[in-house]
Structure 1
Amino acid sequence: MGEVRADRASRPLVYDTVFKHGLARLDAEVAHHRTFDALKAAGPVLRRVRAPRGRPIQTMGLTFPNPLGLAAGFDKTAEAFEELGAFGFGHVEVGTVTALAQPGNPKPRLVRLLDDRAVVNRMGFNNDGAAAVAQRLATRRRRPGGPVLGINIGKSKIVPDDDQAAVETDYETSTRLLAPHADYLVVNVSSPNTPGLRNLQAVEKLAPLLQHVRRIADRATDDAGREPVPLLVKIAPDLADDDVLDVADLALAQDLAGIIATNTTTSREELRSKPEQVEAAGAGGLSGAPLRERATEVVSLLRGRVGPDLTLIGVGGISTPDDARERLAAGADLVQAYTGLIYGGPLWPRRILKGLR
């Protein structure tokens, strides 16, 4: 038994060594694509793997196998969400998907800050477009017992944020195509990498957009013979507290299913990495451990405002079971991670779930 315990304890250290001397020497986006290609190649095997058990969560009219999910950004085009469920994720949020296919921002656009266990990304919503993703989901049979599927939608880059009608039409296309395939739908207005997108978080712009998306989603699911899909909004950690509370009030007024808090941050305060490394990483959204404190604050602020019934999904800086417990204690019903998986490796979700048990 002693040898078994030592082997299990050493697994994170083994991955740390592989990451430090292997993956970390590759361009971050190249490493992601190689990992993703391997994941898809292993699909037939992974889809037969029994996912680790956790504490089921009932929320938004859905049953989540456990409280841990994979945040949007890893599987942008819904190609491997069920395979990711085999690692232990009780839900996988795919996207961000835009109405129009787009290549994203120029490379390099994904940079690690190793000393902070953080990532800077300025991907720019690179994805195949809503029509292609909808077609992919329509032709794939979902495995019973697989992860809950969230679909995250955002604004196409060429659509000006100051043209409300154009913005609503853009989101309408994605909603109409994707809502029938989603277990829950997320309106993303908080990525820092699409010009003007965060301006849509202002309540006077956000309110009519969410109303429009809700109408289109209800119509699309009704046409498909489905119940209405739960609708959430994802917000940034860089909002002032008063603005966070305004979004909370809006979510209640519009009877949204929930709020996802938070997206990446543009802040570079109190980082351990050398200033020259931070400068070299460039612009974009920072994710990972430095985001933990503010993301927890936002969840706590939201829960105090919305009461017990609205679903809150906490994301940002979750690296350990203690981080996940802290976010749940702050008021989150579910938690998500992405950067934690990058630094923790394929067994990381199982370690988080074991720690939560």
Structure 2
Amino acid sequence: MTAPTTTPGAAPGLFDRVVRPALFRIGGGDAETAHEWTLRRLAGISRRPALLAALRARYAVAAPRTVFGLDFPNPVGLAAGMDKDGRALPAWPALGFGFVEVGTVTAHAQPGNPRPRLFRLPDSGAVINRMGFNNAGAAALAARLAALDRPLGVPLGISLGKSKVTPIDQAVEDYLASYRALYAYGDYFAVNVSSPNTPGLRSLQDRSHLDALLTALAGEKPVLVKIAPDLTDAAIAELLEVCLDRGAAGVIATNTTLGRDGLAPADLPRAGEAGGLSGRPLTARARQVVSFVHAETGGRLPVIGVGGILDPADGTALLDAGASLVQLYTGFVYRGPGLVRGLARAARN
């Protein structure tokens, strides 16, 4: 069974009929080649104000809200991982996003894991990735952000991760190096301690490690913690205690999962690929975690909900479960900017 690609009852749009099939053929079907091709085109559009204005007129939707002291034009954001090095920043607000999160960035530039490392599972509406925080490093991102010739117009989040070469016992210093290099440019910072693709990283969700990390980072600018969907409720509750005690501004729920439940039969041959699974199989779990975080903290920690949003109803369900904002990654791959617009309109109602 193929995952639905349009709103039930709606005719397939241009993205579904033409754009996505064309993108999925690039590089002989290699997902990362298509991703790089798309980023290059969006970077080119970012230098053409007339094109940006035309896109903005089509896709931008006002549904403003204020969360952890920041004003968001609408609650639909671009998740980390789509534009790690900030190569196409002006394009994302023009495509309707109310905020953008770049990264995950590390103190040291690193190539990430060997290719292939990004796989589409189209019948499941899912993606598996084992990218491994491939990025040009914090200094390079700082230089690119410093060179922007106009305001972005939406809040910019920066996702921070641990360099692979850095031992776990030196993780705080590694995160701090990135934070200091990028402090002037981020409106908020996300502490990624939950990617499954950097050895040992998820141990930083433990109480002692997270306590030390937030003690070092939490300050004037909002710092959020991105958590794994594979944690038990008890582990999430302990993590939330640390977040509240150490001044975290919020939680991003959730990262990708190591689980493989919910895959369509046609995608089962891909199930053995190492890496984190995102998309439709995460829809229910992301909603559960968002609801748990909201209830456990009594709403004291704002939540950015991410995971399995493939139609506006998925996003509004996360908002109804207690999320203040939502983010797209896999849903954007499969549904394009029409999903951003549709979700922002639904959030306005």
Q: TM-score, normalised by structure 1?
A: 0.89
Q: Which amino acid aligns with 1:260?
A: I
| Residue of structure 1 equivalent to 2:157 | 150
Contact 1:52 1:87 in 2 (8 A): yes
Contact 1:120 1:284 in 2 (8 A): yes
What is the deviation of 1:30? Answer: 0.6
Where structure 1 has 5 or more consecutive residues not aligned to the other structure, the ranges are 1-8, 219-227
Distance 1:273 1:112, change over 3 A: farther
| Residue of structure 1 equivalent to 2:207 | 203
Q: Which amino acid aligns with 1:229?
A: K
Of 64, 69, 78, which aligns to 1:61?
Answer: 69
How far apart are the structure 2 equivalents of 1:176 and 1:81? 21
Q: Report matched runs for 1:70-149 at 5 Å.
A: 70-143=78-151, 146-149=153-156
Q: Identity across aligned pairs (percent)?
A: 50
SS in structure 2 of the partner of residue 126 of structure 1 = coil
Bigger mean CA deviation after superposition, 122-131 or 269-278: 269-278
What is the deviation of 1:140? Answer: 1.3
Contact 1:69 1:335 in 2 (8 A): yes
What is the deviation of 1:273? Answer: 3.5
SS in structure 2 of the partner of residue 81 of structure 1 = coil
What is the deviation of 1:275? Answer: 6.1
How far apart are the structure 1 equivalents of 2:271 and 2:248? 39
How far apart are the structure 1 equivalents of 2:131 and 2:206? 23
Contact 2:39 2:87 in 1 (8 A): no
How far apart are the structure 2 equivalents of 1:64 and 1:35? 26
What is the deviation of 1:53? Answer: 2.4
Q: Report matched runs for 1:179-198 at 5 Å.
A: 179-198=183-202
Distance 1:212 1:170, change over 3 A: same
Where does structure 1 differ by over 6 angstroms across 4 or more consecutive aligned residues?
none
| Residue of structure 2 equivalent to 1:278 | 270
How far apart are the structure 2 equivalents of 1:276 and 1:327? 27
Q: TM-score, normalised by structure 2?
A: 0.91
Where structure 2 has 5 or more consecutive residues not aligned to the other structure, the ranges are 1-9
Contact 2:43 2:88 in 1 (8 A): yes
| Residue of structure 1 equivalent to 2:4 | none
* Deviation string, structure 1 residues 257-305 (Cα, Å, up to 9, x no partner): 100000000000131143652246x110001011011111011100111
Q: Which amino acid aligns with 1:140?
A: L
How far apart are the structure 1 equivalents of 2:154 and 2:338? 17
| Residue of structure 1 equivalent to 2:324 | 333
The reply on whether 1:239 has 2:231 as its aligned counterpart is yes
Of 35, 43, 50, which aligns to 1:40?
Answer: 43
Q: Which amino acid aligns with 2:154?
A: P
| Residue of structure 2 equivalent to 1:344 | 335
Q: Which amino acid aligns with 2:224?
A: L
The reply on whether 1:30 has 2:22 as its aligned counterpart is no
How far apart are the structure 2 equivalents of 1:209 and 1:276? 38
Q: Report matched runs for 1:205-224 at 5 Å.
A: 205-214=209-218, 218=219
Alignment: residue pair count: 332
